[in-house]
Structures are given as structure tokens and as C-alpha cells.
Structure 1
Amino acid sequence: MPQQMPLRTLLAEISALTLHVQQLSRMAGEARALIDNSQMSAPTDPASSHPHDSAMPDEPDQRAQRVELEEAILRLFDETFGPRPDTLERQMSMSLIAEIGPAAFVQKVLWGEEISDIALTIALERMLPALDMLVEAHPEAFLRQANSVLGRFRSN
């Protein structure tokens, strides 16, 4: 009988595969756009911007806020999982933060509905209360879209 994989290892494998599928899907979309437009566009720097990270434009204040959020997330990892940089949770999360930004990362973990988001949430379960507190401390970063919608309702 085959040996069963520990749940943690299985979740890590699922998360890694899901992230790879997302990257491949994004690459296929870019290739499709190139074929449709018959021209090449400049590649985007995943560390500076991402379509899902539109809440953090590339302005000095937003860059400072991004750095502050990344440092806060690193402290939360240290407090939750210890200072080791080689933990699976940290490695998986840091590459995602670099790709989509800290605000979008926290939003995925707390409110994401895709299978990859749920796997990430399960992997970071011990960190969820601290991420909730981070959102409470920085609502302007994480709830910017909601605030703009509420502002439109208030003005009507």
C-alpha cells in the first residue's frame, strides 16, 4: 500500500501546482494578445505592478506603503512561523507577494475564492488573525476599492 503524504505536504504541492497553472495561464493570455495584436508589448515588472494590485499605483506614497506592508507581513511570518526564511509558507508567499504585491496577497489569503486562494489560506491558517489585524491597521491599503464604491454611494 502506498505511503500517505502528510496533509501539510499535500497542501503545499497543491498550492505550488496551482501557482504554476496561474503563471502558465497568464503567459498564455499574453501570448494570445501578442498573436491578436501581431506585435510585442513591453514586459511588465511583476515586483512593481500587477493587474490585481491596482490599489497600489507606482507613486512615492504608494511605494512607501507597499514597503511598509511587506515589512509588516515579514514580521508576521517571523511571529507566526519563526524567523527561518526557508519555510514552505514563507517561500510560497514571498514569490506571490513579489508577483502581485502585499495588498493583493493579503486580499487573496483573507477573501480569495479561487482554489489556489483557498489552499493558500489553509497553508497560512495560523497567520489569519494577524492578517485581519493588519487590515484593521491599514484599511486604506486593503479596502481602497470598497471605500471608492462607498464614496460614490454617499455622494448620490
Structure 2
Amino acid sequence: MIQTVDDLAQLPDDELLPCLGALRSAIHEAKRQHAEALRERLIPESSTFAFHSFNWRPRGAQRFNIPIQLSPETPIDELSVRASARDALKELSIFCIEDLSAISEQELLKEVAIGPKTLGRLREVLSRVGLDFLPNPNPQVSQT
């Protein structure tokens, strides 16, 4: 929970801007709700706006939704990727994390449903189980 400026100062640099953006949105929503309550006379006209605390978690942890216990046998269905990306992986005969290590990043990016963000998520998953993609067949093509 973010209650003080010191709480914000303790965030890692890569989490600070997303947290501040979410805080700004939360403040705007709280102000909107306060104004609506005043209009509908749900609170006295003399009520001043107050915003005391803010709960926030890094989006990365929520967005990836990676299970805590990963193994090479973990099915790709347990990973948080778009359904279209999951279908594209299955078309490539990739059904578990270990199967990802049998294909290169370059080959995956040829699939319309798999973009750089999805590739980054898959790279993180492979890394967490000690695996990696096959080297790109054409080393001239840069990785994302």
C-alpha cells in the first residue's frame, strides 16, 4: 500500500512511472466519485475531498501471470498469452514450455499472432526453467 512519499521512493525505478500513472488515475476516479456524491447530495456540501491511501501492485507480475512453479513440462495453456498466440503455438506443435526451446525467436516472429511482447514473455518463461530458444537461423537478424 502506498501511504507516503517514502513508500513511492522505495519502489524500483522501473515500477515508479507505472505506479504514478495508476495513482493519477485513482485520484481522478476518487475526485469524480466525490463530485458525484456531492451532486446527488449523498454527502454534505461542506465535505472536502480526501485521498488517504493507494493500493498498487506492479503490472508486470499481473500481466504475465506466470505460475510460481514452472517446469519444462508446464503446458502453454497455463501461461498468460493471448488465445491467438496460444493457437499459433499449438499450430507449431508447441504444447509445453520445453517445446519452445526447439524453435528460434525469428521463426516465432513469423507468426502474425506472436509479436515482440509475447516473445518477451515466452523468453522470460524459458529463462525461469533454465532453457532458451534455438539460435536464429540467420544471425544477421537482430533479436527483440
Q: Same fold (TM over 0.5)?
A: no
More helix by share: 1
Q: Which has the higher contact order (CA 8 A, sep 6+)?
A: 1
The structure with more radius of gyration:
2
| TM-score with structure 1 setting the length | 0.27
